[in-house]
Structure 1
Amino acid sequence: MQNVDYIIVGDGYAALFFAHQLTKNKKSFIIFSEGRKSASQISAGIVNPVVLKKFTTFWLAQEQLDFLKISLDEIEKYTKKNYLIISPIHRIFHDENEQKLWLKKSQTEDLSNFLDENFTHIEDVKNDFKTGMVKQSARLDVHGFFIDLLKFHERNSQLIKQKFNYDRVDIENSTYQGFQFKNIVFCEGMGVTNNPYFSDIPVIPNKGHHIRVKLSQPIPENITIKKKHFLFPLQNNLYFYGGTYDREQLHSHIDESAVEQLQNGLSEFYQRDFSIEEVYFGFRPTVKDRRPIVGRHSDHPNLYVFNGLGARGILNGCYFSKTLYDFIESKIDLPQEISLDRFNKTKDAL
């Protein structure tokens, strides 16, 4: 029987950022990965402190940005790579009213550190009203991040490529298939709906598609363009364009209407020829109040959940991994905004 401090179930942002907290604090752990590409692993990897539809920001945005940079510097010490790509977002304005709203918001205390007051015109794309740059925005090298970290954990005998079997958990003796564990942390995304311990948490699937395209005329390499969706360069002369948000069409295959939506969205500002080379989709776990779900099982005190990261998986996963670690190891209370208990209190009020 192998003793471990933690079993982590899942292999997305929540799982790997929590694994980083354990690595940093010299805790022993095993990650169970099904080996299928999660929503995290096909995500755009956008690091963005601004809601670009309304030009607003969100809870703890600056703190999350700062903590991400610290964490990626720490991860670099053992992977020898830093996965943050400096590729600021340039939001294409639809009209003069959007320009004026952006300027007005850029003067506010909440947004002055995020909205650049100087507008830019980008060559080779249609941006008649120019673009606004989001300061401190960037991208994560998603492919490199997951490939390298999963390989690192595999080399260190911390990764098991196997579907986790809930029926084999012996709660009373804290064992699972040859492992004696102190805690299990479930970081399963939408897979949590099959988890008998946490299947009732209110995560809502949000289906997202993106396309990978070849452009007949390249665009600037060092920026991320945003109008309806995000466009930025990948390797092999491909570009990422996406992603969509759909809470209705939740079948497990490509939705042609989503592909058409992306094709039309790209055509609005890239008015040259392009070809769609690949189509991807995944299911983001979202929560009605747009906050992650972090907490301990009410009956089994060594079972935990870390879920509901939504479209801001990188920032939420990184920042709240430490919050969860501190909750478990140092008995520091979880903020009510993200605590699993907030839903129980809602039920009690009813």
Structure 2
Amino acid sequence: MTADYLIVGQGIAGSVLAWTLHRRGKKVVLVNSSHLPSASLAAAGIFNPLTGKKLVRTWKADQLFPFLTAFYGEVERELKIPLLHFSNIYRPFRSVEEQNSYLAQTSDSSIGRYVAESVDNQQYQPYIHNPFGGLEVTRSGWVDVPVFLNAIRLFFQEQNRYIETDFDAKGIEIRANGVLWQEGVYDKIIFCEGPHAHRNPLFDWLPYNPVKGQVLDVTMDNYPVTSIVNQGAFIMPVESNRYRIGATYTWHDIDWQTTEDGKAFLQQKVQGLLKVPYRIVGQRVGIRPATKDRRPLIGLHPAHPAVGIFNGLGTKGVSLAPYFADQFADFLEGRKELDPEVNIERSFSLYYSGKNVG
């Protein structure tokens, strides 16, 4: 087999990049180990232009959000699957002080453009504790990540360009103008291995900072709220009577095990938010492929120009992946440079000062 690109890993990053390159007329082969635990399959898939306790605009929101809408909308149409679920995010104020602070911030047009002009707080009152009212973030929602990943896999399987196997980076032969793997010849190999990337000897020098996260799957019988609610924890409608509550963030005990501590933390968070009872029907865990400077890791290996990486998308993978996959594709085609904030050149000193020198 020969192809322009061999993409290793079929989470959000690998799937978005594979589709982006395919739509540009490139021949892409996807390699994946579907039995490995996946951060993407545990992800809620929320896209949110205003985050954090202080109502901070998401990095590059003005570029990311129009792009993600166009990208997932195109995938919906091409593959005939429901992916994009637009939903305002209701943020109840914790105090009068927070109310005043948030409302003052919305006078800044860079924040205000993502906030609804008026909010019907009464519709939430029977179900959500909101004594001080709240605001609604707009241009937000969620992507059905499992549906997206399954559709991309099926598409490449039908093209006979999907290989299910445990990939070992030591099994490739790197040449100046490409790579050889299992009798196949590829112009470039791009690693999109998510939280498993630290085991890759070609890129184990990069500054990964994985974050463990847990979410609860719950049912509620009397909760007609269709917006995502977020105050310390999010409550996201998924389908009839089914909801997701999340998420935890821990930088220790980085494993794929759900914990009672995680469950208790989310129950405590939602206790002061929800007025109606709920039943826990499942618990999920993921390891987010975050980085120490909270910016993606994208680019080509300092010693091997046929070897690249598209990783480190952290907690905002569904938002970041479409925009930066497009930028990476332009870079790979020699059309433009990568944004310095995401280019792995910013970490090349770690490579040259480490065990990989020479």
Tell me the amino acid that sits aligned with residue 282 of structure 1: G
Q: Paired residue for 1:48?
A: 48
The change in CA–CA distance for 1:4 and 1:292 in structure 2 (over 3 A counts) is same
**In structure 2, what residue type is equivalent to 1:205?**
P
Is the Cα contact below 8 Å between 1:34 and 1:161 reproduced in 2?
yes
Asked if 2 retains the 8 angstrom alpha-carbon contact of 1:232 and 1:240, the reply is yes
Shift of 1:347: 8.3
- The one-letter amino acid of 1:108's match is D
Higher mean alpha-carbon deviation, 290-299 vs 123-132, is at 123-132
**RMSD of equivalent CA atoms:** 1.8
Q: 1:254 aligns with which of 258, 262, 265?
A: 258
Instruction: Answer whether contact 1:292 1:308 (CA < 8 A) is retained.
Output: yes
Judge conservation of contact 1:249–1:255 (CA < 8 Å) in 2.
no
1:24 maps to what in 2? 23
SS state of the match for residue 35, structure 1?
A: coil
Question: 161, 166, 173: which is aligned to 2:169?
Answer: 166
> Who is 2:60 aligned against?
60
Residue from 233, 236, 254 that aligns with 2:237? 233
Q: Which range moved further: 75-84 or 224-233? A: 75-84
2:120 corresponds to 1:134: no
| Pairing 1:133-212 to 2, within 5 Å after superposition | 133-172=136-175, 174-212=179-217
Alpha carbons of structure 1 residues 252 and 82: separation in structure 2 relative to 1, 3 Å: closer
Partners in 2 of 1:84 and 1:227 — Cα distance?
23
* Contact in 2 for aligned 1:183/1:303 (Cα 8 Å): yes
Tell me the distance in 2 between the aligned counterparts of 1:345 and 1:116.
45
Please say if residues 103 and 117 of structure 1, whose CA atoms lie closer than 8 Å, have aligned partners that are also in contact: no
Tell me how many residue pairs correspond in the alignment.
Answer: 347
2:56 aligned counterpart, secondary structure: coil
3-state DSSP class of the match of 2:78? helix
Q: How much has 1:51 moved relative to structure 2? A: 1.5
Gaps spanning 5+ residues in structure 2: where? Answer: 354-358
Amino acid at match of 1:10: G
Counterpart of 2:108, as a letter, is T
Residue 263 in structure 1 maps to residue 262 in structure 2: no
Runs of 5+ in structure 1 lacking a partner?
none
2:223 & 2:183 partners in 1: Cα distance? 53
> Counterparts in 2 of 1:282-301, with a 5 A limit?
282-301=286-305
Letter in 1 for 2:238: L
**1:157 deviation in Å?**
1.4
**SS where residue 51 of structure 2 aligns?**
coil
**Equivalents in 2 of 1:153, 1:78: separation in Å?**
13
Cα distance in 2 for partners of 1:76, 1:239 equals: 23
**8 Å contact from structure 2 (residues 67, 323) kept in 1:** yes
The alignment status of 1:276 with 2:277, answered yes or no, reads no
* CA displacement at 1:89 relative to structure 2: 0.7
User: What SS does structure 1 have at the residue aligned with 2:105?
Assistant: helix
Deviation larger for 228-237 or 154-163 = 228-237
Greater Cα offset, 113-122 or 19-28: 113-122
- % of aligned pairs identical? 28
Distance 1:117 1:261 in 2: 33
Task: Report the Cα distance in structure 1 between the residues aligned to 2:42 and 2:256, rounded to whole angstroms.
Answer: 15
User: Structure 1 residues 215 and 176 mapped into 2: Cα distance closer, same or farther (>3 Å)?
Assistant: same
Which residue does the alignment assign to 1:312? 316
Taking a change above 3 Å as real, the CA distance of residues 345 and 109 of structure 1, as seen in their structure-2 partners, is farther
The residue aligned with 2:332 is 328
Q: CA deviation at 1:52?
A: 3.2
**Where do residues 68-147 of structure 1 align in structure 2 (5 Å cutoff)?**
68-121=68-121, 122=124, 123-147=126-150
**Cα distance, 1:214 vs. partner?**
1.6
Query: Given that residues 213 and 247 in structure 2 are in contact (C-alpha distance below 8 angstroms), is that contact kept between their aligned partners in structure 1?
Result: yes
SS in 2 for 1:262: helix
Residues 1:347 and 1:296: Cα distance change in structure 2 (over 3 Å): closer
Task: Give, in angstroms, the shift of residue 78 of structure 1.
Answer: 2.2
Does the CA contact (< 8 Å) of 1:5 and 1:183 recur in 2?
yes
Q: Is contact 1:295–1:340 with CA below 8 Å preserved after alignment? A: yes
Q: Secondary structure at the match of 1:250?
A: coil
Q: Which amino acid aligns with 1:326?
A: D
2:39/2:195 contact within 8 Å kept: no
Deviates more, 1:2-11 or 1:68-77: 68-77
Letter in 2 for 1:160: I
Cα deviation for residue 319 of structure 1 reads: 0.8
Q: Distance in 2 between matches of 1:336 and 1:163?
A: 32
TM-score, length of structure 1 as denominator length: 0.94
| Deviation, structure 1 residue 216 | 4.0
The C-alpha deviation readout for 1:45-86, integer Å capped at 9, x for no partner, is: 111111231111133111100111111232234202341101
